[in-house]
Structure 1
Amino acid sequence: MILEFVLAGTVLSPPALAADPAGTHGAASMLTRKNYASLPTPAGPYSLAVRHNETLYLSGMTAFGTGAQGKSVSEQAQAILEQVKRIAEAEGTGMANLIKVTVFVTSMDGIASLRDVLSRNYDGAYPASSLVQVAGLFSPDVNIEIETVFATSNGGADGALRR
């Protein structure tokens, strides 16, 4: 089986991708992967954020390691969204440019309060959204995970995450 990847209209075979370990694919398509010193290091083989041209993709984030760990879904959501906002700001974008959000919850209990938290954080700029109930997440103290996708208007900030 031959795998091919399409970036900026050019078909790249896996060897062409492997030849570019920095994660960039020429001037037509910029791809960067980032982690942030003030956030937990990913426990697996993934990046917290990946920027492709003017789109910023954030991995699923949880309240693990925050004061909200083990608390209600809405408290965990607020802690997660604060982390998301910090990354977005460090990358030169913000909640007004949130394109898509995917929310994974272990229970549908408390969904009304979760929607209130989400609504307050969106500031009226509602993204496309999916809400998925899952059997469980990696820790019993984590009841929600949020993935986000942002539009960016430039090549990005210096990537320095500020508290």
Structure 2
Amino acid sequence: MRHFVRPEGMPPVNGYSHAVAFSGTAVAVSGQVPLDAAGTVVGEGDAEAQTRQVFLNLRAALAAAGAELADVVKLTVYLTDLTDLAAFRRVRDEFISLERPPASSLVQVAGLVHPAFRVEIDALAVLPPTT
């Protein structure tokens, strides 16, 4: 995996790479939402708590496939309110490597599948090579 955080001529970044090159077995993780293992909404009205639960869910889904957050090459983030961006970034930075961040897209959406959800994130990871 090679991270191109800020190639020459590209604008500054905040917690993502402009490009990531990789080879290996890809793992696609469906959009994760702020539900706990019992299916209960976590942190209703609290973007930081919801984002933290989403990253915990991403980590669990990746682990089931034999990957971890460090193996993520691309995140797609859906926020219902862009005022939640700072909270999202704070939590994201607890979970990803700032030296080797994944490529990332962020989209503001009118709503998610449950009206209490403020954030959803899907991921693409690459399995580490086996020896």
User: Corresponding residue for 1:145?
Assistant: 120
Q: Secondary structure at the match of 1:78?
A: helix
State TM-score, norm by structure 2: 0.71
Instruction: Tell me if structure 2 keeps the 8 A contact 1:69–1:141.
Output: no
The separation in 1 between residues aligned to 2:45 and 2:53, in whole angstroms, is 10
User: Corresponding residue for 1:16?
Assistant: none
Q: Does 1:56 align with 2:27?
A: yes
Q: Does 1:85 align with 2:56?
A: no
Q: Could you tell me which amino acid in structure 1 is paired with residue 74 of structure 2?
A: K
User: Corresponding residue for 1:48?
Assistant: none
Q: Does 1:132 align with 2:110?
A: no
Instruction: Tell me if structure 1 keeps the 8 A contact 2:71–2:128.
Output: no
Structure with greater Cα Rg: 1
The separation in 1 between residues aligned to 2:43 and 2:86, in whole angstroms, is 20
CA-to-partner distance for each residue in 1:20-77, whole Å, 9 max, x for gaps? Answer: xxxxxxxxxxxxxxxxxxxxxxxxxxxxxxxxx7000011111132451523122111
User: Corresponding residue for 1:49?
Assistant: none
Q: Secondary structure at the match of 2:29?
A: strand
Q: Secondary structure at the match of 1:109?
A: helix
CA-to-partner distance for each residue in 1:92-111, whole Å, 9 max, x for gaps? Answer: 11111110000001101121
Structure 1 runs (4+) deviating above 3 angstroms are none
Where do 1:78-117 residues align within 5 Å? 78-117=52-91
The separation in 2 between residues aligned to 1:73 and 1:66, in whole angstroms, is 15
Q: Could you tell me which amino acid in structure 1 is paired with residue 77 of structure 2?
A: V
Q: Could you tell me which amino acid in structure 2 is paired with residue 126 of structure 1?
A: P
Q: For the aligned residues, what is the CA RMSD? A: 1.8
Query: Which consecutive residues of structure 2, in runs of 5 or more, have no partner in the other structure?
Result: 1-23
Q: Could you tell me which amino acid in structure 1 is paired with residue 60 of structure 2?
A: R
The separation in 2 between residues aligned to 1:78 and 1:66, in whole angstroms, is 14
User: Corresponding residue for 1:122?
Assistant: 96
User: Corresponding residue for 2:42?
Assistant: 68
State TM-score, norm by structure 1: 0.58
The separation in 2 between residues aligned to 1:121 and 1:70, in whole angstroms, is 21
Query: Which consecutive residues of structure 1, in runs of 5 or more, have no partner in the other structure?
Result: 1-52, 156-163
